Amino acid sequence: MLPFKTSIGLYTDYYELTMAQGHFLNNRHEERSCFDYFFRKNPYNGGFVVFAGLSSFIEMLQSFRFDEKDCEYLEQQGFDKNFINYLRNFEFKGNIHAVREGEIIFPYEPVLHVEGTILETQLIETLLLNILNFESLIATKACRCKLAAGDKTLMEFGLRRSQGFGGINASKAAIIGGFDATSNVYSASLYHLNSSGTMAHAWIQSFNDELKAFRTYAKHFPEDCVLLVDTYDTLKSGIPNAVIVARELEEKGYRLKGIRLDSGDLTYLSSKARKQLNKAGLEYVKIIASNQLDEYIIESLQIQGAPIDSFGVGTSLATGQEDAALDGVYKLSLFNGNPTIKISDNIAKMTLPGIKTVYRFFDEDGLFDADGIAFKDEGDFEIIHHPFETDKQKSIKGLKKEELLTKVMEGGNITYTSPSPYEIAEYVHSRLKQLPNEHKRFLNPHVYKVGITTNLMDERNNLAKQYLKKDF
């Protein structure tokens, strides 16, 4: 299921290899460590992120090895021969805990951690960030489109505008976020997604007669015929010709599936098109809209009451506009049994030490109330503190809680059954129902509370004091 060769050890940054060699030559490559994956800022100025890419990452991790050509290349780059010999037998043998794919997550909480030797946990950093950051970004964008579209159908059309092979994962992530189908045939085949598509203007132009173009297409695809009606004149030519073909299909025992609008004022044109279709007795014909759509335009069309049944979203979705990337990071939290911390003048950039887990707390209505970050072996606690404004705290006493992280890999072996993209999408939908509406709005969403336990806060502060020196 990989879009390239099966040995992907070189799918990494150069400094991952230099650090790995440094650990190896210092004979500390077998020291145990733990790294956390988290992000610091919600994309799109939104209120949440949809966690995606876990299944892709775990699958690719199985192929994170170095074949002979890889080793020859590293030797040409001047890497140590003994280190290269070690890599010839490299396999990831660590443990991974993560939240469920499709989980609704928030800034600063460690939603995945990797335990293993320092060499293996360090070496897979780039692969992990590359997959999780991108798929989570696209799934979140797709989810926002779904929130705007409601029960309307959504189709992903973004492959031609995506960044190279990123389009493969983008289509999968779009389904996770709530889309119904993709035009990307490769991804549809790879991940068992629903594939869908209509026609291009070029098809109609090639006939130099719109009605003939429609008739020919309907002849070959009578059971799945969607006609693009805006090549010349949507209301004076496209719709009338579509009506003619629809009636001809009815005579043959078929039904025109839909028409597509790909330009112009979509509210105006869809309203006029709906009236023309209904007047012709074609109430069943669906109206599909595309052309540079995103969640804001879809929301506006919905508010205006545009009679559109399905939205096709391409560029803005597959490229993650308006955010180029999710700022997910991968930070060392434990080395050789000792908690570690990254120091910064900005407390928001300080990391949290030790092996941790995340709990979600629910209010009396079963809605998300807050998330708490705690040490993995920590007992019950009744208060969580704001991670940076430590004078702020929240009582979670008596609230129902759920631990979010579970083991997905042990000793390099997968310990869970990876759900399909559509199954993940169902989970996203169920969790969104538990997320209060104030966190889902597009404009100034309410900030979801994520706190840390007293023990974790004290450990971080004590470690920070060991490294920080006050200026005189």
Has residue 146 got a pLDDT over 60? yes
Total number of domains in the chain: 1
269 inside domain: yes
Do the domain assignments include residue 196? yes
Question: Which pLDDT score, from 0 to 100, does residue 472 have?
Answer: 42
Please report whether residue 347 resides in a domain.
no
pLDDT number for residue 5: 61
Domain containing residue 168: CATH number: 3.20.20.70
Which pLDDT score, from 0 to 100, does residue 469 have? 62
Average pLDDT score, the chain: 96
**Least confident range of 14-23, 60-69, 337-346:** 337-346
Q: Quick check: pTM over 0.75? A: yes
Quick: pLDDT tens for 419-458.
999 999 999 999 999 999 999 999 999 999 999 999 999 9
pLDDT higher than 90, residue 6: no
Measured between its terminal Cα atoms, the distance across the chain in Å is 59
The per-residue pLDDT for range 252-287, each reduced to its tens digit, is: 999 999 999 999 999 999 999 999 999 999 999 999
- Is residue 412 a part of any domain in this protein? no
Q: Is the pLDDT of residue 327 over 80?
A: yes
**Whole-number pLDDT of residue 4:** 58
What confidence category does residue 14 fall into, taking pLDDT thresholds of 50, 70 and 90? very high
Nearest residue to 416 via CA among 14, 21, 59, 157? 59
Q: Specify the DSSP class assigned to residue 195.
A: B
The pLDDT of residue 1: 47
Lookup result for tokens 């997604």: 193
Of 4 and 181, the structure prediction assigns the larger pLDDT to 181
Lowest mean pLDDT among 174-178, 184-188, 428-432, 461-465: 461-465
Report whether pLDDT(347) > 80. yes
Give the percent of the chain with pLDDT over 90.
93
Kindly report the three-state secondary structure assignment for every residue of 345-395: CCHHHCCCCCCEEEEEEECCCCCEEEEEEEECCCCCCCEEECCCCCCCEEE
Domain span holding position 167: 139-318
Does residue 93 sit within a domain?
no
For residue 470, pLDDT beyond 90: no
Residue 166, domain member (yes or no)? yes
461 within some domain: no
174 within a domain of the structure (yes/no):
yes
Q: Is 372 exposed, middle or buried (0-12, 13-18, 19+ CB in 10 A)?
A: buried
Contacts of 388 (CB under 8 A, 6+ apart): 347, 348
Say whether 192 sits in a helix, a strand or coil: coil
Sign of CA dihedral 247, 248, 249, 251: positive
What residues pair up with 99 in beta bridges, in sequence order? none
Query: In percent, how much of the chain has pLDDT > 70?
Result: 98
**pLDDT at position 441:** 97
